[in-house]
Each structure stands twice: as structure tokens, then as C-alpha cells.
Amino acid sequence: MATVLPPPSKRQKTAIAEKAHDQQSIDAIPSDLGSVRVHFYDQSTGRPSGAPVAIPVADATVKNLELLLNTLQGNDASERVPYRFTFGADGQAVDIVDDIYRALLKPGLRTTEDTISLHYTPQAIFRVRAVSRCSASIPGHGEAILATSFASSSSSRLVTGSGDNNARIFDTDTGTPFHTLKGHTSWVLVASWSPDDTAIATGSMDNTVRLWDPQSGQPLGQPLRGHTKWITSLAWEPYHLRQSSTFQRLASSSKDSTVRIWDSVSQRIDLVLSGHKSSVSCVRWGGTGTIYTASHDKTIKLWDSTEGTLISTLTAHAHWVNHLALSTDFVLRTAYHDHTGAIPSTDNEKMAKAKQRFETAATINNILTERLVTASDDCTIYLWSPPPAPSSNTATIKPVARLLGHQKQVNHVTFSPSGTLIASSSFDNHIKLWNAATGAFLHTLRGHVAAVYMSCFSPDSRLLVSGSKDTTLKVWDTATGKLKEDLPGHRDEVFAVDWSPDGRGVGSGGKDKQVRVWRH
Amino acid sequence: MPQNEYIERWTKQHGKRLDHDERTRKRIARSSHKASESARSFTGLRAKLYAKKRHAEKIQMKKQIKAHEERNVKSSSAPAEPSSTPLPSYLLDRNQTTNNAKALSSQIKNKRAEKAAKFSVPLPKVKGISEEEMFKVVKTGKKTAKKGWKRMITKPTFVGPSFTRRPVKYERFIRPMGLRYKKAHVTHPELRVTVQLPIISVKKNPQNPLYTQLGVLTKGTIIEVNVSELGIVTAGGKVVWGRWAQVTNNCEMDGCVNAVLLV
């Protein structure tokens, strides 16, 4: 038997207690530091809000700063907005996590003599809770699941595309299959809901795009034929750009190096955007009427969606461009559905709300700017900020920043719904978070032991979920860059993951043929 | 000029015969007649060799014709899928070098679900090896010969990286350097994938527990191999690195260790 140590003597105990007390008190904010002058700036416009304010250092916590700023802004007590404060100096951004003393004064970035300029960004006033358990694992598909997407209005409908040539709609509330969308003759590679949830588009290996009615599960018309190789990505026309509320268009990119724009009502090809020299890997339809395409020919092209003309070609990448994301992706996907769940009654109001939501998300310094981020096989990411379309200097667009750090090909990039963060997932097993305004590096999220295929922000931008080849999903806290939840459960690689736009659940699918729904 | 190119040299100097093309055409036209004539008239070994050569030629010809036909067909059906298992669009154009290993991992998982498979090994019984065959008595030197308990192992062994020999005076077993192995060729039984993997340890030698201790590699020995390169993960998302395998060959005869993965 092992020897039992004698209990510590009284002298030892007091010494330990004293030491613990000393160590703890070092961490507290000293009360004799006086006050510090703080100047608040709006992150989106870059303008100061009012004159500098003197705040006692001991009280300069994020909570108190929020309270002060809300009062300065004249917000009602009932609708206080949470803010995130960043201190930007010489190219690097410091996030104020707890209080000014620990973030700025203690590391010596600023002293109490200086005026501290803090940039504030409003955070989502709702909070999404991290998913922590698998609420349903739904069998049904006969082959690997290649794409998942939640409906834009609610988390109760999920569409998945699979290698068994079917797409399925699931009812996630009950965890049961709702409809089987049969018709494709090969793998269903992409599935996408229209912004108003009236149609689902699926793109397949059999070179066709099909449209489906989500309520009945019946096909809407004939398959859209025209591509000569498989479909790689789909993008719906933003809701506020539609000519009328029922007339919607859809862009599909294909391996055959073209992008086709379909009129979903008459089922005809509206435009063909040809110009890329190799497979088009990703297409996005911007809220200003620009279509963005990324291709394996190393370029990104901007197109006019009404004329089908090329606006500009962005060349900076040295290898395939794998994926691209817009800062407004989330609002374009959800259109007029917001966190309150209130849906406008008439079409005009819906259109107006969608437009207003888009403009709030896209406005930086009072200019309507859609930022663009592209991920490539050359292990880099570029951040672009193309000027609005009818401007003269679209011919030569320079990237805002080149985001370096990944060790292997970057497969997927995504903007946070708030437009302040970029998450990039790479084959080097890491996810990296970047500041979306400057492209500054923030965090590396380490934890996966195999390639990360995809990641998705929660609607309040505070959390990120990632799916990986190592069969797990992981939920990360974006403010600290720490692992929040580890979600094992899949038996094989996770190919597709999506966080529902209302934040209530995460849907994932992969090689183990089961759709899993994760909830808090 | 190389010695054997005199014909080319002659052609370069004097040109071709005036009727060269005509003669070539005729020879080609005649060749099928000639082939059939030889096929009919040859006897014995020559006939046998000729038939074999002709058989190979015909297979080649048929393959070529088939390839041409396939190229000519304008297929309206769905394009051929680039891989046998469905892949998302972002993985389609990438060559799947690690596919085998990954397939391996899922196969292993499926197989482990079957409980019966847990205790079955590919080689359930092996021939016994006597101690005389396994050990050679070392009789070098005056003292050693007198003691008579020093043994040299005559079979291949696995010796761990941290092993240091005991002083010669006390050393009972000698494991010769030339018969030590660090790597094994491990085959996955269903997938027929063979990978060379480092051996971690010897888990069980069916002959004798002493041999397990000594790390003797004989047919039927269970070894632990390092599979971390394959990228296998557990259900919890951790990397698997040790997995058991059974030796399937007589290593001392073959000069290599072949093993089959236990799933």
C-alpha cells in the first residue's frame, strides 16, 4: 500500500492560504489607476459617436461600456444592444474581452494618459445556444450525403442531397423523412432553397438542375438541361432584386466551365455566362445584381446579372479557386426572415424588408459594398471589396488583403452573418478566423485531426460549427477561439453541415448515410 | 555510328529502292495469307509457340477495336461517375490518394460491429516449433561453453527501440541483428490493400509465452502495428495508431514480415 501523507500543519495551511490570496489579488484591477478617456467609433462608418468620455479604470468593463454606449446612443432601456469593442492600432485589432485594464493597459498598449479609441460593432441582440446533443439521426438515404441545407424561414425543414440519386426533405422537429425528391439519375451534389422557401433547386452529376415544390415534394416542371458536365454550385437571385415576387431566377455553375442562369418559371435558359477556361467551382449572386464566379482557371469573374456581360476579372490566385463567400450571404439567403420570426404580409413589404436588411448588412462607411472572400488551392485566401458595378475603375480591382497562414489547400470560406468575421476551413486540419474588415488574423481553431471540409456560423456570429473528415462536428466560440462543444456521433466523414438561419439546430450529413440533427 | 544501323546508313547514302513502297504494301497485304499458312503448316513446339504469340496478338487487337468502338459511340446517357463512392463536389477533382486508407477505416468499423469477429484470427492453428529449432546453444569461449546456458535465437525477432543488451556475462538470449525486423507488410483482408507499417510490439506468440517476451516473429504471431499514417479515426474523432495484425508467412524463409490486419 502507498504511504499516506500526513495532513499539512497549521503553519503550512496559513502559508498556502496567504499565497493563494496574494495571487488572486494580483489579477484584480488596481483601484488607484484613476480614469481613462475613451472615444467610441462606429466600426461600420468609422465615425466617432460624440466626444471622448472619462471612465474610471476600475469600472471599465465591457458590461459597463455597453451600458454607457447604449445611453450615449439614446437607445431605450428595453432594447439595449450588446456591443463588441475592438481597439485597432497599427494594423492589429485587439478584442476587449473582459475590461480595458486587462486588454490594453496591462499589456502596455496604451496608458491612462492616452485617449483610447474603441471601435464598436453591434452584436446580434439574440443569442444562439451552442448545440450539444444529437437530437435525431435519421436514416433514409442509401448512399453518402453530399449536401444539406435548412429552409430559410425555419429550422423544421432540411433538404439533403445524396449519392443514391435522391434528395430528401426532412422534418427536423419530429426527426422523420418528409418527402423524397426522386428524379435525378446520378448523385445529387447541391441542394438549395429559394430565399422565400417556395422552391428547392438540386444540381446533380447527371448535368441537370431540378426544381421541387417543398410542400408536396413534387417536381416543378421538367429538369433544366443545358450543362454538359456536372453541377458544382447553385445560387438563387436575391429576393429584393426580383422583377416580381413570383419570378425568380437561378444561377448554376458547372464543371463544363459555364454558368447558366435559368428562369425558374418558364424553365428556360435566360443567360449563359461563358468565359471561364476551366471548371467553375462556385457561384454567388450578390445583392447589387452582380454575379460572382470562382473557377479552377485561377480567376474570379464578376458578371452583370441582367445583361450577362463580364464586369471584371480578378486575378491574384496562383491555383484553383475553390470557394467564394460574400459578406451578405446570410441576409441574401434569409431575405425577409429575421430573428423575430415576423413575416411581412404583402409582397411589397417583403421586398422592402429584404432590401432594407441587405442594405444594413452591406453598408460600410455609408457606401454599399459587398465584400468577397475567395479560398484557393494555393493555400491563401484573398479578401476583395469590388466597387459598386457602374463605377469606372472595375477593370483593375486589387485585393484588400491576402490572408496567409494555412499550410494546405483551403476548401471553404464563410463570412459571419454580422459581416465581421471570416472563417476558413482547410485540409491542414485547422480552421482560421480572420477580421473581415482588414483581413487581420484572429485565431486558429485547432482540434480536428483530419481535413476540415466545411464550417458554418451561427446566426448571431458568436459560434461556429465545423464538419471534418475525422467524423466529428465541433462547435467553436468565435470570440475566444476555444472549443465549445465536441460532437462525435457520425460513423464516417462529415461532408455537409448547416446551421439553421433561426439558430435552433444544426444539420449534418456524411459518408455514414445518416442525417443528424443537433440541438441545444 | 552504331554497328547495327547499316541499313539506315545505306538508305541515307543511296536512298530507297524505287519500288520500295510497292513492295511494302504488297508484303503487308500478303501478311495475313502468310500467317494463316504458318498456322496450318507448323507442327510441334514451333506450332505451340506460334499459337501463343498469335493468341496474344489477337487479344491486343480485340482490345484496340473495342476501344475504338467505345470512342465512337455518342452516349446520351449520364456521364461516368469519377469514383465508385459518392463524393461532394469539392472533392470530385482531387485525386484520392488517401482513399484506400479511409475505406479501410470504415470497413474496420463495420466489421467490429459484428461481435463474433472479435476472437477469430486468420490463422487459428500453427505448427509447433521445438526449442532445438528455435535456439542454438552458444559455445564460444571458455566460460560460456562451460556454463552452457547461453542461447542464440534462430528466428526473426522484433526488438523494441529502447532495448539495450545486458552485459555479455549475464546475457542469456542473443537476438541477432541480421534477423531483427522493424516493419511489416500489412494487408487488409477485404480490401486487398497492402501497406508497409512499423511494428510497435509483439502481442502474442502462439508457440510459447517466452517467445512473446523475446519478440520472436513466427507464423501466427500477433503483432501490434502503427497505423497512424492511414488516418484512421475512432468514433470519438481521435486518431487510432495501434492495431493488431497476425503474421502469415514464415519470416525466416522469406526475409520479410507479411501480416494480415485483424478486424
Q: Is A206 in the B-facing interface, judged by CB distances under 8 Å?
A: yes
Q: Is B198 in the A-facing interface, judged by CB distances under 8 Å?
A: no
Residue matched to cell numbers 465581421: A420
Size of interface A-B (CB pairs under 8 A): 87
In terms of Cβ atoms closer than 10 Å to its own Cβ (0-12, 13-18, 19+), residue A246 is: exposed
**For residue range B121-158, what is the model confidence (pLDDT) as tens digits?**
788 888 888 888 899 998 888 888 888 888 999 999 99
Q: Is the dihedral of CA A132, A135, A141, A142 positive or negative?
A: positive
Radius of gyration over every alpha carbon of chain A, rounded to an integer in angstroms: 25
If you average pLDDT over residues A291-299, what whole number do you get?
93
Residue A207 to residue B79, Cβ atoms within 8 A: yes
Q: Where residue B73 falls among pLDDT bands split at 50, 70, 90?
A: low
**For residue range A80-115, what is the model confidence (pLDDT) as tens digits?**
888 888 887 655 677 787 888 888 888 888 888 888
> pLDDT over 70 for what percent of chain B?
85
Closest to A163 measured CA to CA, from A184, A135, A192, A137: A184
pLDDT at A91: 57
pLDDT at A57: 87
Residue B78: which of A206, A412, A495 has the nearest Cβ?
Answer: A206
Which chain A residues are within 8 Å of B233, Cβ to Cβ? Answer: 449-450, 470-471
Q: Where residue A47 falls among pLDDT bands split at 50, 70, 90?
A: confident
If you average pLDDT over residues B163-188, what whole number do you get?
90
Q: Where residue B109 falls among pLDDT bands split at 50, 70, 90?
A: low
Residue A146 to residue B89, Cβ atoms within 8 A: yes
If you average pLDDT over residues B100-114, what whole number do you get?
51
**B113: nearest CA in chain A?**
A491
Residues facing A201 on adjacent strands: A192, A211
Closest to A321 measured CA to CA, from A413, A441, A455: A413
**For residue range B16-52, what is the model confidence (pLDDT) as tens digits?**
999 999 999 999 999 999 999 999 999 999 999 999 9
Q: Which of A357-361, B1-5, B220-224 has the highest mean pLDDT?
A: B220-224
Whether the Cβ atoms of residue A431 and residue A421 lie closer than 8 Å to each other: no
Whether the per-residue pLDDT at A26 is higher than 70: the answer is: no
pLDDT at B182: 93
Average pLDDT, chain A: 88
Whether the Cβ atoms of residue A298 and residue A377 lie closer than 8 Å to each other: no
* A58/A229 Cα distance (integer angstroms): 64
Q: Is B92 in the A-facing interface, judged by CB distances under 8 Å?
A: yes
**For residue range B206-218, what is the model confidence (pLDDT) as tens digits?**
888 999 999 999 9
Closest to B215 measured CA to CA, from B260, B184, B187: B184
* A501/A484 Cα distance (integer angstroms): 20
**For residue range A388-437, what is the model confidence (pLDDT) as tens digits?**
756 556 667 889 899 999 998 999 999 999 888 999 999 999 999 998 88
If you average pLDDT over residues B249-262, what whole number do you get?
91
pLDDT at A204: 92
**Which of A344-348, A485-489, B81-85, B170-174 is least confident?**
B81-85
Whether the per-residue pLDDT at A297 is higher than 70: the answer is: yes
Closest to A475 measured CA to CA, from A451, A450, A445: A445
**A473: nearest CA in chain B?**
B237
Q: Is B183 in the A-facing interface, judged by CB distances under 8 Å?
A: no
pLDDT at A343: 87
The alpha carbon of residue A484 and the mean position of all alpha carbons in its chain are separated, in whole angstroms, by 17
In terms of Cβ atoms closer than 10 Å to its own Cβ (0-12, 13-18, 19+), residue A82 is: middle
Whether the per-residue pLDDT at B84 is higher than 80: the answer is: no
* A272/A306 Cα distance (integer angstroms): 11
pLDDT at A60: 86
Q: Is A468 in the B-facing interface, judged by CB distances under 8 Å?
A: yes
Q: Which residue has the higher pLDDT, A228 or A107?
A: A228
Q: Where residue B116 falls among pLDDT bands split at 50, 70, 90?
A: very low
**For residue range A330-385, what is the model confidence (pLDDT) as tens digits?**
999 998 888 888 888 888 899 999 999 998 888 877 788 889 999 999 999 999 98
Say whether pTM exceeds 0.80: no
The alpha carbon of residue A19 and the mean position of all alpha carbons in its chain are separated, in whole angstroms, by 46
- Give me A192's grid cell: 438549395
> pLDDT over 70 for what percent of chain A?
96
**Which of A327-331, A421-425, B239-243 is least confident?**
B239-243
Q: Is B98 in the A-facing interface, judged by CB distances under 8 Å?
A: no
pLDDT at B108: 52
